[in-house]
Amino acid sequence: MPPTKKPRAKSARSSAPGGKRTGKPRPSVGRYAGPPGTRARSERSDDAKPRARAARPDEARPRAAPKKEAPAPARPLSASQKRHLRGFAHEIKPVILVGQKGVTEALLAEFAGALEHHELVKVKLADDDRESRAESIERIRDHAGAELVQAIGKTATFYKRNPDRNQYPLPK
């Protein structure tokens, strides 16, 4: 008589195709454990009262608004900073398209607005001549005070840091 197989004990995996789990989900473990809709342990409940600070004599006076200093002149980007920005520039599409009329005042105004909003702007140039493209890039860069990150073929990428909202933090 051939040997018979003993039935195996049920494991956490079911016999369903792909070995997917069935039944109740496991309870959460860790910092945010608890039923859905509850707060994390680190958050303070509404019942807790904030601690009152003792008033000091120097806090009674109203504080003067800090003086805004003129921004320091921008330093040129280092090679590592340009490399960092090139990584971000790879995925973005050209925002400004320079047509047959070339670099006009309207285009420069639009470029300044785009640079202020995006910080990192790609420009597509329609010039076929390499020297005229270089002149256009230089004119755009000088007008806006931007830094040239890269120029490949008919596409140039510019960067100018916006002190109000820094979207691309640069490495040292």
Sequential pLDDT tens for the chain (172 residues): 666 776 666 555 555 555 555 565 555 555 555 555 555 554 555 555 555 555 555 555 555 655 555 444 567 889 999 999 999 999 999 999 999 899 999 999 999 999 999 999 999 999 889 999 999 999 999 999 999 999 999 999 999 988 888 888 788 8
> Measured on CA atoms in the order 88, 94, 95, 100, is the torsion positive or negative?
positive
> What is the value of pTM for the model shown?
0.56
Stretch (H or E) spanning 155: strand 155-159
CATH class of the domain whose range is 79-159: alpha beta
Going from N- to C-terminal start, the domains of the chain cover 79-159
- Which is nearest to 85 in space by CA: 24, 145, 142, 161? 161
Residue 137 identity (one-letter amino acid): I
Backbone angles phi, psi at 13, to 5 degrees: -90, 145
